[in-house]
Chains A and B, each alone.
Chain A
Amino acid sequence: MIPLLAFVVVGFFGNKFKGGGTAIAVLSAVAAFALSGVVSYAYLTGDLYSTSQPYVASIKWLAFGSYELNFGIYIDSLTCVMMLFSSFISMLIFVYSIGYMGGEGKKKRRYYAEISLFLAGMLGLVLSSNFLEMFIFWEIMGVCSYLLIGFWSYKHPEGDEASMKAASAAKKAFLVTRLGDVCFMAGLFVLLWTFTSLDFTVVFDAANIASAETGMVILGALLLFGGVIGKSAQFPLQDWLPDAMAGPTTVSALIHAATMVKAGVYLIARSYPLFIQNADVMLLVAIIGAVTAFIAATMALNNMNIKRVLAYSTISQLGYMVMALGAGGYLIAMEMQHGVPTAGILATVGFTAGVFHMMNHAFFKALLFMGAGSVIHATGTEDMRKMGGLSKKMRKTSWTMLIGCLSIAGFPLFSGFWSKDMILEATMEPSIAGLAAGDIFLFLFALAAITAFLTAFYMFRMWFMTFHGKPKDESIHCHGESPKSMTIPLIILSIFALGSGFLIFFGLGDIITFNVSGSGAYYFGGDGHTPAHIFDAIVTNIWTYVTMGLALIGILLAYLMYARSLINPARFNANGRSRVYRFLNARYFFPELYDQIALKLGFGVAKGIDYLDKNLIDGTVNGISNAVVGGSGALRKIQTGHVRDYVSLIALGVIAIMAILALLVFSGGI
């Protein structure tokens, strides 16, 4: 097995950095997927998996002080799942790019190099054996996304204004996620200090966690969660993701479905042993997730840009995943901390649901984005008001998109249905078990259920506006169906969006679990829910039918409003003038808030200090030196006059330092 793994690493790194032409990039993605498949197969059928051990191979990278840093790979069932779906979807996106980016000419090279690096970053992150390595790949993806979102900044197909937007969106994405990265990095230091190592094998060891300082573990987990908020666009840093739509649609698909934003959720799943140490941390995670899911869904309600609707839905679904992980973790944490007995194996349903939804979401969101890309490719616009009636001209796209919509809306038997239902069940669980925060979870469940309704509504609003009815704008000319390289990935994905939900009954349920063994050790994979158990839980649960009903009502409402025009949407928004409408359109005024904070605080402070530096300090010094030197003020007129100010500044500085030292020495009492 080891030579094989070595080959994986070489394959990932050797292939990726060449960039080169389309063929190399696509082939490398195919190779990456094939290797992921082989490695996962080898691991999941091997001895390590049956004994619930991760495979770890690492080499010493560098040592400094009392710390040692390794560079290696860490494979367990979670890694396998992540690796498989992200490389599979990336592969399809790469193939799709052949058609979509066909007209980019010389810039294709840069595009393929960057998306290859992006994929390498994601796979590296998933395979990392320690937090530092993970952080490195995390940042690589950040830089790549910066470059890719700004890809069209030179010559956006939609003109100059759009290029400007692309440039500023790239900067925003980079800087906002960077805020999360700072938290992540601070978390690294905290963990390094607490565990004197960043290796997963050390940090996730139950005995080590038990002997570590509890406060520091919690602080570390919270800081890591800060990183997740930035990367996975959770409340209150959700705002960069819709703006990131300025990049090519394939990039959006890559970011939303397979890679970057999933990295945040993966980080929570990966660091589950740390997160479950404290129930309150998990409660916070769940609340943030639910709030994000809800507000993003409301923002999607009245947006007219097809890609932005999808972006909001991504944020909303990410919120679901985070909420599921939080709710499940809360149960485990309560059991460990307070000995509250939970429904045993049900406790891990949150984890399973979160990861499972992440996988399903990858399939249907990639499908939706690529379908939207196909539409944009054919019509040349992203505005849904100008589309309509496309289903006749683009049959394949419209059918595959319909499957994607049904899946994300949670229509029974589609993949989104299973995972979404598990999430809702996991959220209900704490309140059923009668735990302290049960009421909060009941509220979260209500939010999630409303979100499910909203999701169904806005997704079908999008579908009906785009494909149904008559073309609304004659000036938009539809070129007809997109090339094969674009439709074939769509069809493949639609099969998965339709069917991947059933995988949970065929062994996947055992693979994506998180367990605490009798001896207190943590492990991923292993015993999970029996298929019959899950099926039973979903089918016999009354709430399942409630959410199903809500989803159906959502679809129906969208149908009545946008396909039949029986209910005029304008009645609700007073033709775009109502306060709620504007409030949603302005995204709850978050962008303004950021701008205010960033400009007023950041730039203002910068200006202020610069001003102080130039005027106030110098001015004070001037004043003092003028008083001292008296009549020689005339000398200031000559060009080097300022030097004297600097000199006085130094004199002042000496005095200030003396004062500080005196203060420290004589009041510090040392």
Chain B
Amino acid sequence: MLDMITDFVDFVMPVAPHFILLIAALIAPAIGMKSGKASAIFMLAAGLFALGVTGYMMYDGGYNGRVFENLYEFNQFTGFMIVLFLIVLCLVVVMSYGSSDNKKHHGEYYSLLAAATIGMMLVCASVDLISLFVGLELAGIMSIALVAFKKNDPRSSEAAVKYLIISGLSTALFLYGMSLIYGLTGTLNINEIVNALAGQEITWTYAVALVTMIAGFGFKIAVIPFHSWAPDVYEGAPTPVATFLAIGSKKMGFVVFFKIFLLLFVAVRATGEIQELQWLFAILAAVTMTVGNVVAISQTNIKRMLAYSSIAQGGYLLIVLAVASDYALVGGLFHMFTHVFMKGGAFIVVGALCARGLSENISDYRGLSRRAPLIAFAMGVFMFSLAGIPPLAGFWSKFILFSAGVDGGTWIWLIAFAVINSAISLYYYAKVVKAMYIDKGTTTEKVKVSFNFKFAIAVCAIATLAIGFFPGPIIEFCEFAVKAFIP
């Protein structure tokens, strides 16, 4: 009996965090029958437990292993991304409880949230396109249900339908690309595909395969021109879900890009140059960040503004693919990490204020520094961090990401673009700070925010500040992940 247990533990070890969440997702609806609070606490506990297990697995050199006939693996990179997604899950769970958006069906809600997280974690762990696809769909379908969770709000349903259709299309494109790749290489294992493709000349089939895959995932990370759904969906979805999409599911899209294209570029780098695809990504990056930032300026709804700013941040991250060096990936992972806290924090503040009856218009934030000084201060920190004002977390991650681009010399124009863009972005971030601190509000009535929101905001603000002052450890953490990822 004991043997069986140890065998089983050994067997599932590489997917242990997923396994824990899976069990939690199955139990959650049962607990939710009794009380919403209990299911939130239960899910938070499960998330933290999984986080602990992941941390333990990564500790001291880390655990490496594969499971299910080489479908899933665990290494420092996978661990890094899992940690990131679990943090997202925990933050979203904390902010969901007490959010006015979901009154009923707590158990199901948390269950869906956990399942979507499992999907994202599976994507990180996949070494095979099929398993990757399974994770992707798991996360995608759960997200659609989550977006539609405000049943009585037509905006929510509309957003869900949009999301469903667009995500269906992107899946179709991805599948099409995948089948072409299979035709070209005869395998679905990512490492083998990369090696097979690295030696090939670019042919039309090859190009179509790659482009359809870019389009398929471009949807997930809202690259221009596949971005149009994002502002609508963020605006319509319940705020916690919008948070989840902005800081969670977006990262999953990037993981896929890294897994396929970055590895491809790295493999090719050994044999020769594959500049044109990198150029393609550079162009996409430049266009995405510019359009995202410029359109964000004219937004008056804060959720839409944050959506466009997310698009722009996605543009910065695409620099990683254009530059395609280890160092750039360190910057990219670091930026993803800080982005979770600063963008997550901003969304949580929005959620908290929505729950207290403030609208999503930036003009409603006028005079907030008097009505809720601490919340306003935290929001200021998030905004300045997103804009890249030192010494906050966002400055470091941007700095490292951009300096990676300067490294080779080829991409200086792209970095110049990015620097100018981050200056533009300051305009709309400063607009929020100005509204909070400098404009006069119509009322000075205090805004009371419930404890769980305060807690989540405090966690994000402290993380943003702490990483700002001591970025060293996190960068090291990212470097370990990159070493595991790029052989």
A contact set with B: CB distance below 8 Å: 61-67, 132, 135-136, 139-140, 142-143, 146-147, 150, 153-154, 163, 166-167, 170-171, 174-175, 178-179, 181-182, 185-186, 189-190, 192-193, 602-603, 605-607, 609-610, 613, 617-618, 639-640, 642-643, 645-647, 649-650, 652-654, 656-658, 660-662, 664-665, 668, 670
Say how far A602's CB is from chain B's closest CB, in angstroms.
7
Q: A647-B169, A654-B215, A657-B215 are in contact. Are A670 and B298 (CB under 8 A)?
A: no
A617 to B439, CA, bound (A): 36
Given contact pairs A175-B426, A182-B419, A661 touches B280 in the complex (Cβ within 8 A): yes
Question: Taking the nearest CB of chain B, how far is it from the CB of A419, in angstroms?
Answer: 33
Instruction: Enumerate chain A residues within 8 angstroms of B400, measured Cβ to Cβ.
Output: 64-65
B283 touching A147 by the CB < 8 A rule?
no
Contact check, A649 vs B297: say whether CB atoms are below 8 A apart. Answer: no
The prevalent SS among residues of B at the interface is helix
Given A640-B158, A650-B166, A662-B207: A603 touches B229 (CB 8 Å cut-off): no
B423 touches A178 (CB 8 A): yes
- Which of B273, B327, B370, B409 is most buried by chain A, counting CB atoms within 10 A of its CB? B327
B225, A650: Cβ atoms under 8 Å?
A: yes
Residue B205 lies at the interface, judged by CB distance under 8 Å to chain A: no
Please tell me which one of the listed residues A62, A174, A657 contacts residue B280 in the complex, with CB atoms under 8 A apart. A657
B280 A660 Cβ-Cβ under 8 A: yes
Which stretch, B100-108, B245-253, B383-391, touches the partner chain A? Answer: B383-391
Q: Which residues of A contact B218 (CB under 8 A)?
A: 653
A179 touches B423 (CB 8 A): yes
Q: Interface SS of chain A: helix, strand, loop or mixed?
A: helix
Q: How far is the CA of A132 from the CA of B396 in the complex (A)?
A: 11
- Bitwise, B270-309 to A at CB < 8 A (1) or not (0) is 0001011101100110000001001101100000000000
Residue B420 is within 8 A (CB to CB) of chain A in the complex? yes
Interface residues of B (CB under 8 A from A): 154, 158, 161-162, 165-166, 169-170, 173, 202, 207-208, 210-212, 214-215, 218-219, 225-226, 228-229, 232, 273, 275-277, 279-280, 283-284, 291, 294-295, 297-298, 326-327, 330-331, 370, 384, 389-391, 395-396, 399-400, 402-404, 406-407, 409, 412, 415-416, 419-420, 423-424, 426-427, 430, 434, 437-440, 471-472, 475, 479
The answer to whether A670 touches B475 (Cβ under 8 A) is no
Q: Which of A174, A642, A654 has the most CB of B within 10 A?
A: A654
Residues of chain A contacted by B437 (CB below 8 angstroms): 147, 150, 153
Given A178-B423, A609-B295, A639-B158, A664-B280 contact (CB < 8 Å)? yes
Task: Output the least CB separation between B408 and chain A (Å).
Answer: 9
Which of B166, B277, B420 has a CB less than 8 Å from the CB of A647? B166
For the complex, what is the distance from the CA of A602 to the CA of B370, rounded to whole Å? 31
Bound CA span A538–B330, Å: 58
Looking at A63, A154, A171, the one whose CB has the most chain B CB atoms below 10 A away is A154
Residues of B within 8 A of A174 (CB): 430
The reply to whether B330 and A163 contact each other, CB–CB distance below 8 Å, is no
**Nearest chain B residue, comparing its CB with the CB of A179:** B423
The answer for the CA separation of A602 and B228 in the assembled complex, in Å, is 22
Q: Could you tell me the distance in whole angstroms from the C-beta of A3 to the nearest C-beta in chain B? A: 23
23 pairs, A vs B, C-beta closer than 8 Å: A61-B472, A64-B330, A66-B327, A67-B403, A136-B391, A143-B384, A150-B434, A153-B440, A163-B440, A175-B427, A182-B419, A182-B420, A602-B297, A602-B424, A606-B295, A646-B229, A647-B169, A649-B228, A652-B225, A654-B212, A657-B214, A658-B208, A670-B276
Are A606 and B298 interface neighbours, CB within 8 A?
A: yes
The residue on A at minimum CB distance from B398 is A185
B276 touches A143 (CB 8 A): no
When chains A and B are docked, how far (Å) is the Cα of A645 from the Cα of B165? 11
Q: Which residues of A contact B420 (CB under 8 A)?
A: 182
Question: Which chain A residues border B438 with CB–CB below 8 Å?
Answer: 150, 153, 166-167, 170-171
Which A-B residue pairs are the 7 nearest by beta carbons?
A65-B327, A653-B225, A664-B276, A136-B390, A606-B297, A62-B472, A182-B423
* Beta-carbon contact of A610 and B440 below 8 Å: no
Residues of B with C-beta under 8 A to A617: 225
A658 to B214, CA, bound (A): 10
Query: A185 contacts which chain B residues (CB < 8 A)?
Result: 419
Extra A-B contacts (9), CB below 8 Å, given A182-B420, A193-B412 = A65-B400, A143-B384, A185-B419, A643-B162, A653-B226, A661-B277, A664-B276, A664-B279, A665-B207
8 Å CB contact of B165 from A62, A67, A643, A668: A643
Assembled-state Cα–Cα distance A372/B158 (Å): 61
**Residues in B whose Cβ lies below 8 Å from that of A645:** 228
Interface residue from A154, A186, A602 paired with B416 (Cβ < 8 Å): A186
B173 close to A654 (CB less than 8 A): yes
**Distance between Cα atoms of A564 and B211 in the complex (Å):** 82
Question: In the docked arrangement, what's the CA distance between A34 and B420, Å?
Answer: 41
Q: Which residues of B contact A662 (CB under 8 A)?
A: 207
- How many Å lie between the Cα of A646 and that of B412 in the bound state? 33
Say yes or no: B409 contacts A649, CB within 8 Å.
no
Given the contacts A171-B430, A605-B294, A189 and B419 also touching, CB distance less than 8 Å: yes
Docked Cα-Cα span, A649 to B165, in Å, equals 13
- Judge whether B439 and A650 touch: CB under 8 Å: no
CA distance A665 to B472 in the complex (A): 40
Residues of A within 8 A of B273 (CB): 670
By the criterion CB–CB under 8 Å, are B297 and A603 in contact?
A: yes
The smallest beta-carbon distance between B400 and chain A, in angstroms, is 5
Most buried by B among A618, A646, A662: A646
Q: How far is the CA of A658 from the CA of B211 in the complex (A)?
A: 6
Kindly list chain A residues whose C-beta atoms are within 8 Å of the C-beta of B416: 186
Known: A178-B423, A665-B202. A167 touches B415 (CB 8 A): no
Residue of B nearest to A189 (CB): B406
**A639 contacts B295, C-beta separation under 8 Å:** no
